Structure 1
Amino acid sequence: VSADRALRGDLEDRADALEALLVHEREATDAYLLTERVRSDDDVSNRDDFLGMVAHDVRNLLNLVMLGLETIQPPQRKKPPAYVSAGKVRIQRYVARMNRLIGDLVDVTSIDAGKLAVEPVEADAAALMAEATTTFQPAAREKGISLSAEIPEGAMLAVFDHDRMLQVFANLLANAIRFTPSGGLIAVRVERIRGALRFCVSDSGAGIPAAKLEAIFERFWQVGKDDRGGMGLGLYISKCIVEAHRGRIWAESKPGKGSELYFTLPIPSSRRRRSRGK
């Protein structure tokens, strides 16, 4: 009996020592993880600050390039040779693309930090759609694509950040132009649904396989390994912008029959109540 008591006491002492050790290890691990988290947060903050400064400086240089282009004039105001005009257009296009890439990187950083700036106000979504379509008419025309918009009469009020939603339209239209062959069709339309406006950008391109309809909205998604059209951020950023507006974005497609990309925007609550009462 005394031996059993001694053994039991020894086991209890060991259990107490193990429990105390576990408590100490847990406290040490928690302290280590907290230190690493603070260090990681500092690293991310420094990265974001650095990226912001670089983006600002690079954009300033790009603006100087554009300003320099505007000052290039032939002597005695003669019409410049065709190759000079074509060269200026190419440089402008490259500068615009670099600006978009910089903007995408800054936006992704803001999304990761939970700081994507969105300031929704009540405005006319039909006017926004018309502005986006008009902006991309030259690019569509240059590729031999017909770009049309079904713009309803009168205002279609919704709650959105104008610049951010123009960015969404730009990403959807740029993708549609990129994947639609010469002679193809792109159409933009909007309709009222319950509590929201639903927009659609459709094209007559090759379409998207069913297995990739959700993947196209992932970060860095590319059509293929040899795709060099961008970093694969446009649709991902568009998804984040639409969701920040409490909307939804998705794609529908049948291979060989084109694609339709949809997104929704909420309508003002006062109009929602009036529409229910009718």
Structure 2
Amino acid sequence: MALTETTSTRALREKTDKSLEEERDKTDEYLTQPFQEVEDNTHEKVHSIRHAVDQVKENQREALDDDKERVRATADTPLSQVDDELLAEERERLDTLQAAEREAVDRVRAEERAQKESLVNALLDHERRQTDSHLLDERIHVDRELITREQFLSIVSHDLKNPLAAISISARLIRKSISKGETGGLLEHLGRIQHSADAMSRIISDLLDVERMAQGKLTLDLAKVDLRVLLQECGELFAPLVSQQAFSMEIDAGAEPLFADLDHDRILQVLSNLIGNSLKFTPNGGAIKLSARKRETHVEVSVTDNGPGISAEAQARIFERFSQLNVAGHQGLGLGLFIAKWIVAAHKGRIWVTSTPGNGCTFSFTLPLSF
């Protein structure tokens, strides 16, 4: 089964893409006015240079005309020769002025390009730092995700090998007992096989659920259900295990019906996960309370235990995929609460945990009331 991209990874990638898009948009937006100011300043400088050159040209023409009149009045040289000499001198001066004008204008244009480049670099440096930060976050998260997947595969292998080993051992013992004509321990061995097969089935179901969720193929079969009846069903389902571990279980759902439009099996799955966690992490002899309360527009369902509780750090990530509590002897896929959160969200509800280490914890979720 393919391990699909997580929601958080997609969110980080979308954040980076958005940052890159915003970088381009902001660059265009922020540079428009500064560029216009630089261009206007350049235009004024070029206009001033050309005006000055035009003024020099005009003064030179006036001086040249005066020279022509003076030479014509005093020189013995033919007038045509005088005009040719003065025209050549005028062209040389004009060429010099035009060269100086071009050099000055080129210098101003070069300054304009340098100023624009400086503006772009200053802005892009700021925007790129932000985008680089997002890219770094994405890379770190992806690297962490790869490590998590390696851990996940290790846990899957471990969790599947254990029940498989139990099935294999029990099967060999049954075969040995039958070959010897002994039937005393058969029911015990068969019970162990059944328990192990159920465990493997839960693991595979969780993996399939996560894959369906990633592909948007996990659907709900909604019906009007009384949550009081559903809680009672949960109590009966876990009664043998509760009794075996010397737990006490209390159900408090009030006297009035609490109807909600929900997928019976999926909400039973959520409750089973929460109750199973309480039984798993609370020492034998603990207490579990199932409760349901009607609010204005929804029902609030809670599972409370008096176990060791959950730290604030763990509470912040407990609903993430592959998240696990570091409790000795208790290792799992870290998918149960992730799936529970998705199921509750699909019902347009929310799920959360409140806990103080050493004083147990309460998992609560909401479901819209059926009117």
TM over 0.5: yes
3-state SS, counterpart of residue 205 of structure 1? coil
Partner of 2:10: none
Please give the alpha-carbon distance, in whole angstroms, between the structure 1 residues aligned to 2:341 and 2:231: 17
3-state SS, counterpart of residue 149 of structure 1? strand
- Structure having the larger proportion of residues in helix: 2
3-state SS, counterpart of residue 130 of structure 1? helix
2:352 matched to 1:250?
yes
Please give the alpha-carbon distance, in whole angstroms, between the structure 2 residues aligned to 1:79 and 1:187: 44
Partner of 1:210: 312
TM-score, normalised via structure 2 length: 0.51
Deviation at 1:124, TM superposition (A): 1.2
3-state SS, counterpart of residue 103 of structure 1? helix
Partner of 1:168: 270
Match 1:198 to one of 300, 305, 320: 300
Partner of 2:365: 263
Q: Which moved more, 1:220-229 or 1:181-190?
A: 220-229
3-state SS, counterpart of residue 318 of structure 2? helix
Partner of 1:187: 289
What is the correspondence of 1:26-105 to structure 2 with a 5 Å cutoff? 80-81=183-184, 83-105=185-207
Q: Deviations over 1:138-166 (max 9, x none)?
A: 11111121122123334210111111101
Contact 2:290 2:301 in 1 (8 A): yes
Deviation at 1:227, TM superposition (A): 5.4
Change (3 A) 1:180 1:79: farther
Please give the alpha-carbon distance, in whole angstroms, between the structure 2 residues aligned to 1:254 and 1:159: 33
Contact 2:314 2:325 in 1 (8 A): no
Please give the alpha-carbon distance, in whole angstroms, between the structure 2 residues aligned to 1:79 and 1:203: 43
- Structure having the larger proportion of residues in strand: 1
Please give the alpha-carbon distance, in whole angstroms, between the structure 1 residues aligned to 2:193 and 2:340: 26
Please give the alpha-carbon distance, in whole angstroms, between the structure 1 residues aligned to 2:256 and 2:229: 9
Deviation at 1:247, TM superposition (A): 0.4
Deviation at 1:3, TM superposition (A): 7.6
Contact 2:280 2:330 in 1 (8 A): no
Change (3 A) 1:254 1:85: same
Contact 1:124 1:158 in 2 (8 A): yes
Please give the alpha-carbon distance, in whole angstroms, between the structure 2 residues aligned to 1:5 and 1:100: 79
Please give the alpha-carbon distance, in whole angstroms, between the structure 2 residues aligned to 1:187 and 1:4: 87
Please give the alpha-carbon distance, in whole angstroms, between the structure 2 residues aligned to 1:215 and 1:114: 23
Please give the alpha-carbon distance, in whole angstroms, between the structure 2 residues aligned to 1:120 and 1:211: 35
Please give the alpha-carbon distance, in whole angstroms, between the structure 2 residues aligned to 1:80 and 1:126: 43
CA RMSD of superposed structures (Å): 3.0
3-state SS, counterpart of residue 85 of structure 1? helix
Q: What is the total number of aligned residue pairs between the two structures?
A: 211
3-state SS, counterpart of residue 218 of structure 2? coil
> Aligned partner of 2:229: which letter?
A
Higher gyration radius (CA): 2
Percent identity, aligned pairs only, is: 36
Partner of 2:228: 126
* Structure 2 unaligned regions, length at least 5: 1-100, 110-163
Contact 1:130 1:151 in 2 (8 A): no
Deviation at 1:119, TM superposition (A): 2.5
Please give the alpha-carbon distance, in whole angstroms, between the structure 2 residues aligned to 1:155 and 1:177: 28
Deviation at 1:246, TM superposition (A): 0.5
Please give the alpha-carbon distance, in whole angstroms, between the structure 1 residues aligned to 2:252 and 2:208: 33
Q: Which moved more, 1:192-201 or 1:150-159?
A: 150-159
TM-score, normalised via structure 1 length: 0.67
Please give the alpha-carbon distance, in whole angstroms, between the structure 2 residues aligned to 1:207 and 1:104: 24
Please give the alpha-carbon distance, in whole angstroms, between the structure 2 residues aligned to 1:138 and 1:252: 27
Partner of 1:145: 247
Match 1:221 to one of 313, 318, 323: 323
Contact 2:311 2:355 in 1 (8 A): yes
Please give the alpha-carbon distance, in whole angstroms, between the structure 1 residues aligned to 2:317 and 2:292: 24
2:218 matched to 1:116?
yes
> Aligned partner of 1:224: which letter?
N
Partner of 1:49: none
3-state SS, counterpart of residue 202 of structure 1? strand
Please give the alpha-carbon distance, in whole angstroms, between the structure 2 residues aligned to 1:256 and 1:144: 20
Please give the alpha-carbon distance, in whole angstroms, between the structure 1 residues aligned to 2:324 and 2:272: 18
Please give the alpha-carbon distance, in whole angstroms, between the structure 2 residues aligned to 1:210 and 1:142: 31
Contact 2:221 2:262 in 1 (8 A): yes
Change (3 A) 1:79 1:184: farther
Deviation at 1:228, TM superposition (A): 4.7
